[in-house]
Amino acid sequence: MRVAVVQMNSQADVNDNLARVAALVERAAEMGAELVALPENFAFMGESDEAKRAIAEDLPDGAISRAIAALARDKNVFVVAGGMPEKSDDAARPFNTSALFAPNGALLARYRKIHLFDVDLPDGSSLRESSACQPGEEPSVTEVRGKKLAMTICYDVRFPELYRRAADAGAHVVTVPAAFTLLTGKDHWMALLRARAIEDQVFVIAPAQHGKHPRGRQTFGKSCIVDPWGDVLAQCGEGEGIAVATLDFEYQDRVRAMLPALKHRRL
């Protein structure tokens, strides 16, 4: 399976961001991608939580999800819409939802981010995702062209039990769309992605935000695709871009046969 990760520098204008998404997905499709993964907050990284609440929508009927569905249909690709505000039963706290759209535009699956990023960083900044988002409760594993794909989002990558749940459900591929902070990303991003790939013997597809955003946020980038041995197959450089790789599932089978750690579990 040929897959692509899209690296973005999303800002506060939803229409501008979606225009960039369309251009980047088109380029990825031209490069042969069958599945294209977008980063967390691909449609909006704005100044206020109020603005994010205002664009929260019902899936698949909202303007953002309709745009992504049309794009998937037009380019004949699967699209992982990495993280977008989905209405919840609490108007003040929408879900942060990753949605998988099929080449016919249908919504195949959704995952609502379980682990929310509430931290006080050493640089003095404070982030409270739970003040503006409601956490999800259930993992998501669905089938894409005969292989199982699990969806996660950003901060989830620090919680290996979620990825082991995905492996137990038969996942071959896990997506990790992110808006990782520059401070934590430079030390932890690649180490965590490679660890999740190695310990669960899965392909990890990790599209990310990069650069400066409203509210003084700065994200790390380094969108990448990692194989089940922990090797980085493709990685974006600085700025907006695309990285493409082919997932070799026969190689994954060999890795799992050669090092059958998943069968050796005792706990």
Say which residues have a Cβ less than 8 Å from residue 152's Cβ, sequence separation at least 6. Answer: 98, 111, 113, 162, 163, 166, 174, 175, 176
Identify the helix (H) or strand (E) that includes residue 167: helix 160-168
Coil vs helix vs strand at 223: coil
C-alpha 140, offset from chain centre: 13
Task: Calculate helix-pair angle for 190-200, 160-168, nearest 10 degrees.
Answer: 30
Tell me if residue 40 is catalytic.
Answer: yes
Instruction: Answer yes or no: are the C-beta atoms of 203 and 197 closer than 8 Å.
Output: yes
- Phi and psi (nearest 5°) for 170? 95, 15
Instruction: Answer yes or no: are the C-beta atoms of 235 and 243 closer than 8 Å.
Output: yes
Indicate if the alpha-carbon torsion angle 13, 91, 212, 196 is positive or negative. negative
Residue 55, Cβ density class (10 Å: 0-12 exposed, 13-18 middle, ≥19 buried):
middle
Tell me if residue 113 is catalytic.
Answer: yes
Instruction: Answer yes or no: are the C-beta atoms of 59 and 19 closer than 8 Å.
Output: no
The active-site residue out of 52, 57, 75, 113 is: 113
The active-site residue out of 34, 57, 75, 154 is: 154
Identify the helix (H) or strand (E) that includes residue 36: strand 35-37
The active-site residue out of 34, 40, 57, 240 is: 40
Residues in a beta bridge with 111: 98
Amino acid (1-letter code) at residue 150? A
Tell me if residue 148 is catalytic.
Answer: no
- Report d(CA 139, CA 154) in Å as an integer: 14
Residues recognised as catalytic: 40, 113, 154
